[in-house]
Amino acid sequence: MINMTAEYKKLLQSLKAKEYAPVYLIDGEEPFYLDLITQYFEDNILLPHEKDFNLMVLYGKDVEWADVVNAARRFPMFAERQVVILKDAAQMRGFNELAGYLENPSPTTILLIEHRFKKADGRSKVVKYAKEKGYHFTSDKIKDDSMPAWIQGYGTEINFHVGERESQILASYLGNDLQKVVNEIEKVKINVPNEQHLTAELIQKYIGISREYNVFEFPEALTNGDKDKLYRMLNYFIANPKSAPMVLIVGSFYNHFNRLYQAHFLKGKSEKDAATALGTYPSRVREIMAAAARWPLPKVEESLMVLSNYSSKAVGIESSAGDTELLKEMVGRLEAV
């Protein structure tokens, strides 16, 4: 899969450099990047005094394809170029008729076609000519198990450190709705503008997600020997299967044990050096090293083998069992290590 964030940055870089194409087609199920791109076209390509006559926003449910072509064929007024934006293009009748214009687009028009909530037909001439004459960007939904990494990357973009634990918590309870995740992180930043790290305490206070039942605390309850908490969390996830898919829980356990594995080879290192090696911040190092001391290296290695097996089962490889059954089985296997 193409790295959407990297592709978005590439597109934004070309726009900021004023390297404009005559046509842009942006489509896909995830509206977050589509909204960012569309907003950029509305706000930044034309100068403020040029927008009155040269910025036209059309909506697919309200116009015919010929209206879009006529708007794109007109000449700009008192400006070098005009911008025509077609929003919700998937709702427009005769969408494929736009291919005639895209084959020979006006050099003084920048046409943005925003086709949200689904991809345009890749076999169509609209997509073919959009790629040949301009730019085609597809915004796919982020998979659940990729959300923690996306959240951490977003935190880096806005200079707000989101650790692995915290990204797992957000991903578990907010899902893969990027705008929802961004809104909740912004809520925290507004309330604590000088804070540079997102902590579990801030998540609980400002987002309302309890630390009691999250996938990051789950493996820690096991390696800390806290059986009461382990069984309480196990029962919670069994009773609330939608709160965290099995692939996310397995990923959380794997990341935890992988970190314990690394910690066994960092004894004697400073907290700062260990934090860098573990990809976390110094205050977490003591907790990780203490857990590693309680869970010897041979047990960590065997646990990782168990988790590798359940990682395959969680996506249906050599197993037809449901998440609830797999979860109970996996926790039992890990306890027996």
Structure tokens at 279: 């990809």
Q: What letter would DSSP give residue 1?
A: -
Rounded to whole angstroms, the Cα distance separating 150 from 171 reads 9
pLDDT number for residue 330:
96
Q: Coil, strand or helix: which one is 327?
A: helix
Strands 82-87 and 161-162: unpaired
Rounded to whole angstroms, the Cα distance separating 326 from 99 reads 50
Give the CATH fold of the 145-335 domain.
Zinc Finger, Delta Prime; domain 3 (1.20.272)
pLDDT number for residue 216:
78
Rounded to whole angstroms, the Cα distance separating 206 from 266 reads 35
Backbone angles phi, psi at 275, to 5 degrees: -65, -40
Q: Which amino acid is at 116?
A: R
Reported as a single tens digit per residue, the pLDDT across 280-295 is 767 778 889 999 999 9
Q: How far is CA 156 from CA 151, 159, 197, in A?
A: 9, 5, 10
pLDDT number for residue 325:
93
pLDDT number for residue 292:
94
Tell me the helices (H) and strands (E) count for the chain, helix number first. 17, 7
Reported as a single tens digit per residue, the pLDDT across 118-136 is 999 999 999 999 999 999 9
- H/E segment holding residue 91: none
Give the CATH fold of the 4-138 domain.
Rossmann fold (3.40.50)
Reported as a single tens digit per residue, the pLDDT across 251-283 is 889 989 999 999 999 988 998 899 888 877 677
Reported as a single tens digit per residue, the pLDDT across 46-68 is 999 999 999 999 999 999 999 99
Structure tokens at 58: 């059309």
Assess contact for 81 and 109: CB atoms under 8 A.
Answer: yes
pLDDT for 213 beyond 80 = no
How is the chain split into domains, by residue range?
4-138, 145-335
- H/E segment holding residue 15: helix 4-16
Strands 197-198 and 82-87: unpaired
What percent of the chain is predicted at pLDDT more than 70?
98
pLDDT number for residue 3:
66
Entry field: residues in the chain: 337
Rounded to whole angstroms, the Cα distance separating 270 from 165 reads 21
Helix axes of 271-278 and 246-263: crossing angle, nearest 10 degrees: 140
pLDDT for 20 beyond 80 = yes
Assess contact for 126 and 19: CB atoms under 8 A.
Answer: no
Q: How far is CA 158 from CA 45, 67, 144, 155, 186, in A?
A: 23, 40, 22, 5, 10
pLDDT for 2 beyond 60 = no
DSSP string, 163-213: -HHHHHHHHHHHTT-HHHHHHHHHHHHHHSTT--EE-HHHIIIII---STT
pLDDT for 150 beyond 80 = yes
pLDDT number for residue 181:
96
Reported as a single tens digit per residue, the pLDDT across 151-174 is 999 999 999 999 887 887 888 778
pLDDT number for residue 1:
41
Rounded to whole angstroms, the Cα distance separating 40 from 43 reads 5
